[in-house]
Amino acid sequence: MKLISAIIKPFKLDDVREALGDIGVSGITVTEVKGFGRQKGHTELYRGAEYVVDFLPKIKLEIAVDDQLVDKVIEAITNAARTGKIGDGKIFVFNLEQVVRIRTGETGSEAL
* Position 44 contacts other proteins (CB under 8 A): yes
Select the span of 10-18, 51-59, 71-79, 89-97 touching other proteins (CB under 8 A): 51-59
Q: Phi/psi of residue 37, each to 5°?
A: -140, -130
* Position 86 contacts other proteins (CB under 8 A): no
Using alpha carbons, list the distances in angstroms from residue 98 to 34, 37, 106, 110: 28, 31, 11, 11
* Position 32 contacts other proteins (CB under 8 A): no
Which residue of 24, 26, 40, 48 would you call a contact of other proteins, by CB under 8 A?
48
* Residue 10 Rama label (left phi>0; alpha psi -120 to 50; beta): alpha
* Position 36 contacts other proteins (CB under 8 A): no
Residue type, 61: L
Contact residues: other proteins, CB under 8 A: 44-49, 51-53
